[in-house]
Structure 1
Amino acid sequence: MTTASAAGTGRTALPRVRLYETLRTAHLERAHELAPASIVYRRRRYDFDTALARGLDLVEAGPARAAWVLARSDVREVEVNEPLMVSSLRRSALALAAVDLSRRVRRRPRALVVTYAIANDDPFRPPARPGPAGRARRWLDARLIARVAGRVDRVVFGTPAAQELYGARVPALRGADQVLLPALPTACACGPLDGKDPDAVLFVGAFEERKGVRELLAAWPAVVAAHPGARLTLVGKGPLLDEVRAAVADRPEVTVVVDPPRAEVHAHQRRAAVAVLLSRRTRTWREQVGLPVVEGLAHGCAVLATTETGLAAWLADHGHGVVAPDAPPAEVAAALVGLLASRRPVASVLADLPDVDGRLAADAWLLRAR
């Protein structure tokens, strides 16, 4: 990668900047589709494909260095992490302060600040940050949320759940231009989508408790009993890998694929009839959208998800399966069998998707001419 920032100049190469807390392969793929921008990020995720980083201006920097880089750069438009992303609040606030101070010192026009919001979990819900120290932290977080939100000029909500939460919890954002553009994909162009195996079920994601892989495995015997031809492929990696392998050791209809390249993931998604993501909330996390949900839709899959995703209402309204995160195995199995039995055509799934990818539409709206 031969960019100004990567060469060590301490500046971004482009006047448009996106701030990321973490950077992963999906972000890199999307960056090649979005309007050109420098990306300033804190750390890489485990699924960071260096090949996809080529041609992008990427600056890896902690909060202090990120602010220093932005202060030295000609930043005219900046996309910050959404205000309710508490883990990046201090970084966002510091970055915006650096940008605004730099513009004032240089006597240049105020930079446009935008954000894309998909948070659907109140960061102050119990039992988040209990005790005196927790109360002090919540007090500080609330003020930083208001400060960052008050500096935002434009916001796109990617889910109705996010729009509802911000309306209730972040009044400082009401002064920004706002629009709801659901985080829905268009059909993936990775290959033909007419080769579906009508009995194939796919899980893609981290083998972690919060992603519901245990719940899927608990329901699977009942799925096979009701739909004997069903086959399951589990794609991913994570702390539950050994447990997953042990659970399916005597089930020949289940295949475990560990951390394959992206092209292989897409191949599994083209073949699957049903994509499953049974997300479960933790003390500090809730599924905002779910990349496996979006990618499943993009590949013409019927989707089974929980009410935790911000797209739950849309999925239910468009013929997909939605269950409670604590649904018993029999209920999960029944929903999955129903989707398999429906033999939903790929064209039917794709017909419900927008003409323009929701994130691309959001980017165009956020960065339209002033």
Structure 2
Amino acid sequence: MFISPSRAAVPVSINDNWVTTTVAQGLAHPWGLAFLPDGRMLVTERPGRLRIVSPGGALSAPVPGVPDVFASGQGGLLDVALDPKFATNRRVYLSYAEADSNGRAGTAVARAELVETGGKPGLTALQVIFRQQPKVEGGAHFGSRLVFARDGTLFVTLGERYQRDRAQDLGTHLGKVVRINTDGSIPAGNPFSGRQGARPEIWSYGHRNPQGAAINPASGRLWTVEHGARGGDEINIPLAGANYGWPVITYGRDYTGFKIGEGTAKAGMQQPVYYWDPSIAPSGMAFYAGDRYPGWRGSLFVGALKDTMLVRLTLSGEQVVAEERLLQQEKRRIRDVRQGPDGWLYLLTDEDDGQILRLQPKR
């Protein structure tokens, strides 16, 4: 399927009628957020801590049982997700940067059971179910969002670890979206299963550093958002076996200003649904399915780090038809975006004193 990118034809507007309310603060570079059934929140801190946060904003002590992380550069404890059967199995999934004995690192995924004894939470039965191969030097581009598909399989987004050309190499997990079962085994129907020289976990490839992912409730399909270089941030709908072009095609340029790759299009490589040039540095993605914000049901929300804002994208099917920029006046690095069980949107800020924010109308 070839998708023509819609960026050039889309109107962009500014909306300053929204503000944030601080729900919790004092988090060190929070990265991932998941809501427990009782309304409390699981929040990861990049240095390697997992917290439980009450609806009123009280932070628990660090939850014991978290795996050791490579907390360097962009690495650390990253995303968190609940098992679709959490109510019965109490399983949570963590993505994180993991180092070997030589200091090389890659993205890993572990699952564990969340237990609470005497009001004190902890993780037990920790099991690593996926390790990005190969581990490489450096602290950049771990990707790392976790998203469960409707069939219960788990998508994991993986950066190319600043090893550009290896995003095209099916013998590595660098610059890929992978799909695994909850125990790490390979689901039936993965596009490269049984192909010699290819990693069987791979779902799609040619990605740079996807730090946002969500299932579109209208279609059940995975959407991702990834960082470009100097421009070329992309929203994609990763299809089984498809090549998303990095670094052969891109709408961005190198940080030096020089051209990357061959241009913006090539036969056999997918176009993004949408792209930003210049870059906004996107992280976090959520489709809105509630009623708190009139007219916003079905919108796609993306956080921005460099451009310190929340972006609302209006969709028509699988095309972006308008972009609205919110919270620019607050100048916050938005790392994650989630819809809460109460219908409000919640944001994480990537700061030394990171916060959980709730988006509300200006009074």
The TM-score, its normalising length taken from structure 1, stands at 0.24
Higher helix share: 1
Greater C-alpha Rg: 1
| More relative contact order, 1 or 2 (CA 8 Å, 6+ apart) | 2
